[in-house]
A and B are shown apart, each in its own frame.
Chain A
């Protein structure tokens, strides 16, 4: 070995060591002091032991044009690939200890490189965001850098799953990369996302507001609907990402992995026969049904705190991942409103893009009435869900549990918008509207003129209930494929998924449809 080779190796090792602690131990202590892990610690927890392969550890920026010529190996982001429970993913993890994790040209190029490769090989992309934003010192180069990422986010959308995890600040234009991706995780109290921060808000609108109240995890998971999952800290958040990855296929050409939880496919549940209360005005918790039918009662709910009148999430039936969309009668009687329509619509499109069969559990009294909803665009938001379900070509099954009224019935993956199989429980009520409303419309005059209007109304309601508020008329028409016993729901769904496995559906040729965004 010659001396030069030795020197090269020494140099390499020095650079590598530097790249592992690019900004010094003090900064790492500060990061820990904020209750946050470092970029590398996060990767280490997220990926299987010893599987991380790093790219561009030695890449640096060109130095700022404002005179700050100092450069850092890695340029504030760690990128590469590794496995999660044996399946490869690509990852980038922003390093807040390096110039606040700010995004510049080299930083962006590193991210773009793993994104390009992820699309090429068909593996998910996971971004761990912890960045102060655009590196102002790089001027328009920094903006161009963002644009490159946005462009790739869009190109990769529907090709490989893209997961963003906000583990620190994410402000300004930076928010738009996560917002294009499929799922956003946030860590409570150490992460926030907003387009303009509290100081700008104060200057422009004179409102005093904290980062947490403006764009913290709580706001985005309950109010804005930006975040899909939240966790109390980094460690648990990274675990949740692993959990989600286990439900998903690696790309749009594959199916999700099968996981055998040894839950018998023909397990029935007598409790379900009693789930729907006899009194139609009483509510029940749809989660009981969801937990009963899914393998091992394991359910990963998406946006659990937002638009709680509809439940979306992943579970398994007979080992196979399904996307579940269920009305929640315990919240707002399970109506569809603007937020619920948006939430479910986006979820349905994700499932369709990634070959995840859809199961709808229907108990919907209709769309939410009122000027707030009408003026808020329930027409165009409701249309999103209608479009999403109709367009989906994955296996689609519906189970009508109780109410299926009016337009909302059609929207909720009905036979009429070509779901593959539509079941109903004996408690199903499929009709244009509820008995009271219907009786009032049909027999308005008779009721008005009666000596005892209430008695007549009750009589007409009972009549209507008897004629329409049941699954039999729909079954006679063939709109319902079968009326099933509640206790058998799990088994029937699994059998149906098995038969639909070979489903092929081709749409008309087009560039793309025009979903009412």
Chain B
């Protein structure tokens, strides 16, 4: 086994690899850029090497610097994590040349699987089903139309290079082909400098299911079962689980065998993931093979009881797999949620800032893989994923509820995260039923209005929590000033029941609290429903509340913002306003006002770097036209004009860093 390895990565995966190394007694070297000088992975490693400026190209993607760091710190091997250099055959070769072991597959296997065409051909040769498609890059529109005719609509246009869904287009009808092909070409050319486009059958209602395989250098290949990754948004996975509710034991065996056959054919060694698309009838087709550890590997670890990083290290060190296929046992269910710094209310724009409060959920059946801590700064340079929360249960529902409750108590302040969005997905009845395909998010969450009403009971519990906090805090004020108030002969003014009206933008509740201000047991009515609630000692500064409601523990996250109570619970986020009956009665005279932002300015929707400003003062622009192009978190996106107007002033230039809310352009009013 290696004595010391370098981890060529950052964030949660670097931290996760360090953890296994510590357990195995392997020393670690972390690498860090300017942006990560105070980061968790740097602090946890035995040793850390500085590798350059914040942009990944000058640090985490610079293989030479990483190799130099490994040699300088006396490492024998390099673990690439995922992303960055993990699937670079060139980097794997360079390591070899420098006398360092790459903790991953052989360079040749990386190169082979990195080529979409070659890998597909290999799969076909190995007897693994592939999606029907056109074997060559499309020359022109004519060829595209002919190919589509023979495959049958709908078809998918897929660029040869890249990933993450860039350049992909679904074509449903003949007349859409020309536009789709042109757009796809343009996008992929711009992103990857390669305009080759392929075509394949588009599978409707598909599920994305992948098989984790491991191969050692002694000819053994095993499958560690499947992971269900169909819950995605724009091809980015959000929730993963193992096993999949759509995979029978028989299908598991067949998919596992196919994946192992492919790995053998490819001469594959170490951890790999074979991605399949599975149709409604249980047919599965090879998509691609990822030659690295996957983000979602923990769900496999929880159901198999294995440490995949440990296996990677052992295999890279030349050891054989310590078990064969018969030795792989599956137990229970695991589910993972990716926690990302992004604002789901604002089009999932990346969010930045400093984490001012951080508290992870804890519990026997909860695991959190995190790369952040209180004080961590989230910038625009890297992937927005901060952490992963993984739950385990004896069955799917237990795991699901465990994860929902974990996320209710996952407290991150200072940076907007998708925690509550993920929780609303987990709480969706269709998800709970296991009834979904890869279009789940688009179908249920990206429409203007959610297609299903929120869970009424959960909403009522949120209202109850808001009213209770309001009431208890009010009582605390009373108690505090009591010594200053004359009590002699004072009337009996201690009410043991108090009524409140609670409202949100669209909902109203009547809440009746019965209990005493000093006690901890309450009977609370919300409209017609009755709850028995036990409260802890209130600690308002925590901004987390744990209530025992009808015998079960519930966790709420909350903020007091003036007269409003922001509460997040089971994916439901509401601003509650709380009124006494007297206030409620008079409130009917109060107008409801909408705060409209001034329309003569274009505000920056996200932090990032200005890469293009295709306009100047005096230009006439139209609503929806992109006025400024920003790059953030590796993505370029345009900021569209909200109005038809004439440009009064352009306040940014190419290359400038901008923050959310900055004024980009001013319009003539």
Residues of A within 8 A of B (CB): 32, 35-37, 41, 44-45, 49, 83, 85-87, 188-189, 232-236, 239-240, 246, 257-263, 267, 269-275, 278, 284, 288, 291-292, 295-298, 319
Smallest CB gap from B491: residue in A:
A50
Question: Chain B contacts of A83 at CB under 8 A?
Answer: 485
Given contacts A261-B540, A278-B37, contact A235 B590 (CB under 8 A): yes
Residues of B within 8 A of A (CB): 37-38, 354-358, 373-377, 414, 473, 476-482, 484-485, 537-541, 543, 560, 562-563, 579, 582-583, 586-587, 589-591, 593
Q: Are A35 and B481 in contact (CB under 8 A)?
A: no
Q: Are A296 and B586 in contact (CB under 8 A)?
A: no
Smallest CB gap from B593: residue in A:
A232
Apart from A235-B579, A298-B560: 11 A-B pairs, beta carbons within 8 A: A188-B593, A233-B590, A235-B587, A236-B563, A260-B480, A261-B540, A271-B354, A271-B374, A272-B375, A274-B354, A297-B543
Q: A45 vs B484: C-alpha distance in the bound complex, in angstroms?
A: 22
Among B354, B484, B586, which residue has its beta carbon within 8 angstroms of that of A41? Answer: B586
Q: Are A257 and B480 in contact (CB under 8 A)?
A: yes
Among B38, B482, B560, B593, which residue has its beta carbon within 8 angstroms of that of A86? Answer: B482
Question: Chain B contacts of A319 at CB under 8 A?
Answer: 480
Smallest CB gap from A29: residue in B:
B589
Q: Are B375 and A274 in contact (CB under 8 A)?
A: yes
7 residue pairs, one from A and one from B, having the closest CB atoms: A274-B375, A86-B485, A233-B590, A263-B541, A296-B540, A32-B589, A35-B591
Q: Are B357 and A271 in contact (CB under 8 A)?
A: yes
Smallest CB gap from B587: residue in A:
A235
Question: Chain A contacts of B476 at CB under 8 A?
Answer: 259-262
Measured between C-beta atoms, what is the minimum distance from A487 to chain B in Å?
9
Q: A44 vs B581: C-alpha distance in the bound complex, in angstroms?
A: 12
Q: A298 vs B376: C-alpha distance in the bound complex, in angstroms?
A: 24
Q: Are A44 and B582 in contact (CB under 8 A)?
A: yes
Smallest CB gap from B487: residue in A:
A86
Q: Are A284 and B590 in contact (CB under 8 A)?
A: no
Question: Chain B contacts of A35 at CB under 8 A?
Answer: 589-591
Measured between C-beta atoms, what is the minimum distance from B42 to chain A in Å?
13
Q: Are A85 and B579 in contact (CB under 8 A)?
A: no
Question: Chain A contacts of B593 at CB under 8 A?
Answer: 188-189, 232-233
Given contacts A32-B589, A83-B485, contact A262 B583 (CB under 8 A): no
Smallest CB gap from A259: residue in B:
B480
Given contacts A83-B485, A85-B478, A278-B37, contact A288 B414 (CB under 8 A): yes
Smallest CB gap from A42: residue in B:
B586
Smallest CB gap from A330: residue in B:
B659
Measured between C-beta atoms, what is the minimum distance from A52 to chain B in Å?
13
Q: Are B583 and A45 in contact (CB under 8 A)?
A: yes
Q: Are A257 and B481 in contact (CB under 8 A)?
A: yes
Measured between C-beta atoms, what is the minimum distance from B498 to chain A in Å?
11
Q: A291 vs B559: C-alpha distance in the bound complex, in angstroms?
A: 12
Smallest CB gap from B495: residue in A:
A49
Q: Are B356 and A288 in contact (CB under 8 A)?
A: yes
Measured between C-beta atoms, what is the minimum distance from B343 to chain A in Å?
17
Given contacts A270-B374, A288-B354, contact A37 B540 (CB under 8 A): no
Among B356, B477, B484, which residue has its beta carbon within 8 angstroms of that of A292? Answer: B356
Q: A189 vs B476: C-alpha distance in the bound complex, in angstroms?
A: 34
Measured between C-beta atoms, what is the minimum distance from A45 to chain B in Å?
6
Question: Chain A contacts of B477 at CB under 8 A?
Answer: 85, 246, 259
Q: Are B354 and A45 in contact (CB under 8 A)?
A: no
Question: Chain B contacts of A240 at CB under 8 A?
Answer: 562-563
Among A259, A269, A274, A291, which residue has its beta carbon within 8 angstroms of that of B377? Answer: A274
Q: Are B485 and A261 in contact (CB under 8 A)?
A: no
Q: Are A37 and B586 in contact (CB under 8 A)?
A: yes
Given contacts A44-B582, A275-B354, contact A297 B480 (CB under 8 A): no
Question: Chain B contacts of A189 at CB under 8 A?
Answer: 591, 593
Question: Chain A contacts of B479 at CB under 8 A?
Answer: 260
13 contacts between A and B (CB under 8 A): A36-B589, A45-B586, A49-B582, A85-B477, A86-B484, A235-B586, A235-B587, A259-B481, A260-B476, A261-B476, A263-B540, A271-B355, A288-B356
Measured between C-beta atoms, what is the minimum distance from A265 to chain B in Å?
11
Q: A291 vs B540: C-alpha distance in the bound complex, in angstroms?
A: 13
Smallest CB gap from B538: residue in A:
A262
Q: A89 vs B524: C-alpha distance in the bound complex, in angstroms?
A: 34
Question: Chain B contacts of A44 at CB under 8 A?
Answer: 582
Question: Chain B contacts of A271 at CB under 8 A?
Answer: 354-358, 374-375, 414
Question: Chain A contacts of B485 at CB under 8 A?
Answer: 83, 86-87
Question: Chain B contacts of A295 at CB under 8 A?
Answer: 541
Measured between C-beta atoms, what is the minimum distance from B420 to chain A in Å?
20
Question: Chain A contacts of B563 at CB under 8 A?
Answer: 236, 239-240
Q: Are B481 and A85 in contact (CB under 8 A)?
A: yes
Q: Are B540 and A262 in contact (CB under 8 A)?
A: yes
Question: Chain B contacts of A188 at CB under 8 A?
Answer: 593
Q: A232 vs B575: C-alpha distance in the bound complex, in angstroms?
A: 15
Smallest CB gap from B490: residue in A:
A86
Q: A495 vs B586: C-alpha distance in the bound complex, in angstroms?
A: 45
Q: A143 vs B458: C-alpha distance in the bound complex, in angstroms?
A: 60
Question: Chain B contacts of A297 at CB under 8 A?
Answer: 541, 543
Q: A49 vs B484: C-alpha distance in the bound complex, in angstroms?
A: 18
Question: Chain A contacts of B591 at CB under 8 A?
Answer: 35, 189, 233
Q: A269 vs B18: C-alpha distance in the bound complex, in angstroms?
A: 26
Measured between C-beta atoms, what is the minimum distance from B590 to chain A in Å?
4
Question: Chain A contacts of B541 at CB under 8 A?
Answer: 261-263, 267, 295-297
Q: Are A234 and B590 in contact (CB under 8 A)?
A: yes
Question: Chain A contacts of B481 at CB under 8 A?
Answer: 85-87, 246, 257, 259
Q: A298 vs B355: C-alpha distance in the bound complex, in angstroms?
A: 19
Q: Identify which of B358, B537, B586, B587 gathers the most chain A CB atoms within 10 Å of its CB.
A: B586
Question: Chain B contacts of A263 at CB under 8 A?
Answer: 539-541
Q: A380 vs B374: C-alpha distance in the bound complex, in angstroms?
A: 43
Question: Chain B contacts of A87 at CB under 8 A?
Answer: 481, 484-485
Smallest CB gap from B357: residue in A:
A271
Q: A173 vs B8: C-alpha distance in the bound complex, in angstroms?
A: 72
Measured between C-beta atoms, what is the minimum distance from B663 to chain A in Å?
14
Q: A313 vs B383: C-alpha distance in the bound complex, in angstroms?
A: 38
Question: Chain B contacts of A41 at CB under 8 A?
Answer: 586
Q: A246 vs B357: C-alpha distance in the bound complex, in angstroms?
A: 28
Given contacts A86-B484, A288-B354, contact A270 B375 (CB under 8 A): yes
Q: A275 vs B583: C-alpha distance in the bound complex, in angstroms?
A: 41
Question: Chain A contacts of B473 at CB under 8 A?
Answer: 261
